[in-house]
Structure 1
């Protein structure tokens, strides 16, 4: 699959999201830099078909189809939209996502699923305090349990700290498995992963301009 954002903006004079173009497609991991508090989430919502841009187009395989985008592109860990509450135990997060994926979702099933990833020791740990790479692995693996998902938009994994190379390699692994990966990061993380082998980066967004208020909850459901 191929998702293309062309001349996309959000907000008056592009204050929320300046004019940009980006393509992400199956089998590739791509990152894009987005600064300010709101911009990463707004970009993630637009790239996954959950928010309409004020100008420009978003297409999937050459067609403007927001419904197909929402079904086939998972929005992962977007602040205030799809990120799990930090005080919720990892096992509860897994159980909820297993349920959404139409799978058995008892605590026993959650533990078994975590054990397959090697994270069963985290089942009672609040997700807000686990290692950033483990968080990215768990949330991305949960996202691809849904049958139609072919792409992941991972929002601001660098906000959790840790070394960018850990979660960037996980994103690259998902690309190797055939998924289209778009990772939205800040400037410091972008500087690190841009030097890593086989990294593909998108045109960087400008930091300039204040972000106007956008309430993602008023847009399409992010799940």
Structure 2
């Protein structure tokens, strides 16, 4: 699914949450979008996934199609798991949202795959493992064609802990958007897109 945000603005009760931002991302691409704190990372993610209607500008395809095929991953205070939950419980809940089997064997397989213990509090999961796990679970949702990773750098400022995960999902044919901080973007091998801008660089190819 190709997604195009054209001059998207999001306004909250106390003013603008997101300045006009444009972005295009296609299947098999990763768009990294950087911004300063309070620049509207989550607001843009909500608009890209059809969860809110922009105050200005537009997002295509329609909000209905976006809600059916786009997943906002680990957004603070929106889709991020409660920090005090056990990892096993988070996995079971996410599998249920995906309509997948959430039995003990499936949960155990995922715990082993990601090197995690069932009883670990989710807030204690290392940043790279957290991003990999939640992204994989999001990709299991029926029809998931766009994944928007909300500020994975709040768990690890090292792009090596989350960029390979995004690239792997793009290689599987999904469109991927990663929202991150400006300081983190300085550590990327390419120039990122920017919140509050319209003239954006091309997304990353998953072969990088």
Q: Report the TM range for the smaller structure's normalisation.
A: 0.7 to 0.9
Aligned equivalent of 1:157, options 148, 152, 155: 152
Residues 1:39 and 2:40 are matched in the alignment:
yes
Report the TM-score when normalising by structure 1.
0.81
Residues 1:177 and 2:172 are matched in the alignment:
yes
Q: Deviations over 1:104-145 (max 9, x none)?
A: 213333112332x242x3321111111111111100100011
Q: Distance in 1 between matches of 2:60 and 2:137?
A: 25
Q: Distance in 2 between matches of 1:14 and 1:6?
A: 20
Residues 1:2 and 2:2 are matched in the alignment:
yes
How many pairs are equivalent? Answer: 196
3-state SS, counterpart of residue 125 of structure 1 = coil
Paired position in structure 2 for 1:201: 192
Shift in CA distance, 175/185, structure 1 to aligned 2, threshold 3 Å: same
Paired position in structure 1 for 2:17: 16
Report the TM-score when normalising by structure 2.
0.87
Pairing of 1:53-132 with structure 2 (within 5 A): 53-60=54-61, 65-115=62-112, 117-119=113-115, 121-132=116-127
Structure 2: gaps of 5 or more residues: 198-208
3-state SS, counterpart of residue 143 of structure 2 = coil
Pairwise CA distance, 1:173 = 1.3
Pairwise CA distance, 1:36 = 2.5
Shift in CA distance, 92/161, structure 1 to aligned 2, threshold 3 Å: same
Moved over 3 A (4+): none
Structure 1: gaps of 5 or more residues: 208-223
Contact in 2 for aligned 1:5/1:59 (Cα 8 Å): yes
3-state SS, counterpart of residue 84 of structure 2 = coil
Pairwise CA distance, 1:162 = 4.6
Q: Distance in 2 between matches of 1:162 and 1:10?
A: 26
Q: Deviations over 1:54-108 (max 9, x none)?
A: 1101002xxxx10110110110000000000111111111001111222221333
3-state SS, counterpart of residue 23 of structure 1 = strand
Q: Distance in 1 between matches of 2:117 and 2:183?
A: 28
